Amino acid sequence: MAEPRKSTGKRITAATVRADFNDPVAVVHYARAAHRLGLWASERQLIERAFPDRGARLLELGCGAGRVTLGLWELGYRRLTAIDFAAELVAQALALVTERGVHGVDLFRADATRMPLAAEDDPAARLRCRRVPRFDGALFMFNGLMQIPGRARRRRALREIHRLVAIDAPLLFTTHDRDDSREERLLWKLEARRWARGQQDPRLVDFGDRYFEDEAGRTFMHLPTRDEILEDLAATGWRSEYDIMRRHVARESAAVRDFSDECRFWLARALPE
């Protein structure tokens, strides 16, 4: 067996991902989508199904430049809190909602793994936290949860969201699925061999990670299996209600398919603590 390659690149951290999202290339990419693209047809359908009450108090994580935030507002949701850990994207989202005359959205910079909020009815709430009534639902759209490096940190984000929502509240999010196609299964088989020999990209954290560069800038993404997400949900207080590949929800426009790959939607519900 070949010797493991000596590590040359630095391991990807949350700081790497945040810097990549604050990079002007990424900021322009996501701001353009927020201004021009709006919600995908599949997102619209699943949001309306998951949150039938327009008066629901919703928490959107990884809001980026506000594409989904504005979409939620346009669908009639008015009690919105939106966060992202990339300051440049939050600035874009704030500019967009102001430009479109959206009022009352609580939009600020925060890390999903360390939310600066405490649920009002949580006796263990940290004093330094801003207290909020428990949210009726949460969203982490367009794979933002999978852009958190390290499985333990992704689970921490799921626990943080769970801490802030009411029992039975829905969480809608998306991931890739590395078992979805035959081609992907073959590619991941080859990648597994590289990991077994210690010859994977030394910047990666877990098997299933990718770090690449395209028109959206540099992107870190963890591509999970379906079983992995089911385990993560079960370990963090969530019950999976359904999951479905995007192509089975709606046929997306060419513009949406240009902006985003196929993904799996997940709807989970918060179990009692």
Ligand X SMILES: C[S@@+](CC[C@H](N)C(=O)[O-])C[C@H]1O[C@@H](n2cnc3c(N)ncnc32)[C@H](O)[C@@H]1O
- Reading phi first (left if > 0) and then psi (alpha if -120 to 50, else beta), residue 66 is in left
Kindly tell me which residue out of 77, 79, 84, 175 binds ligand X, with binding defined by CB under 6 A.
84
Measured from the CB atom, is 108 or 195 closer to ligand X?
A: 108
Region 2-31 residues binding ligand X, contact defined as CB under 6 A = 14, 17, 21, 30
Secondary structure of 189-211 in HEC code, one letter for each residue: HHHHHHHHCCCCCCCCCCCCEEE
By the rule CB under 6 A, 89 interacts with ligand X: yes
Measured from the CB atom, is 36 or 197 closer to ligand X?
A: 36
Shortest Å, Cβ 4 to ligand X: 29
**Closest by Cα among 64, 130, 61 to 91:** 64
Name the closest residue to ligand X (Cβ).
Answer: 64
Q: Give the torsion sign (CA, 115, 116, 117, 123).
A: positive
- Among the listed ranges 4-12, 83-91, 188-196, 240-248, the one in contact with ligand X (CB under 6 A) is 83-91
Shortest Å, Cβ 93 to ligand X: 9
Measured from the CB atom, is 111 or 243 closer to ligand X?
A: 111
- Cβ-contact 116, 127 below 8 angstroms: no
Shortest Å, Cβ 68 to ligand X: 5
Rounded alpha-carbon distances, angstroms, from residue 103 to 19, 38, 129, 170, 181: 29, 18, 24, 24, 43
Shortest Å, Cβ 241 to ligand X: 21
**Closest by Cα among 48, 46, 59, 44 to 166:** 59
Measured from the CB atom, is 33 or 56 closer to ligand X?
A: 33
Give the CA angle between residues 28, 31, 33 to the nearest 5°.
Answer: 110
- Cβ-contact 185, 170 below 8 angstroms: no
Shortest Å, Cβ 19 to ligand X: 10
Kindly tell me which residue out of 73, 77, 85, 135 binds ligand X, with binding defined by CB under 6 A.
85
Q: Give the torsion sign (CA, 34, 35, 37, 43).
A: positive
Region 32-61 residues binding ligand X, contact defined as CB under 6 A = 33, 61
Region 131-160 residues binding ligand X, contact defined as CB under 6 A = 141-144, 147-148
Site for ligand X, rule CB under 6 A: 14, 17, 21, 30, 33, 61-64, 67-68, 84-86, 89, 111-113, 141-144, 147-148
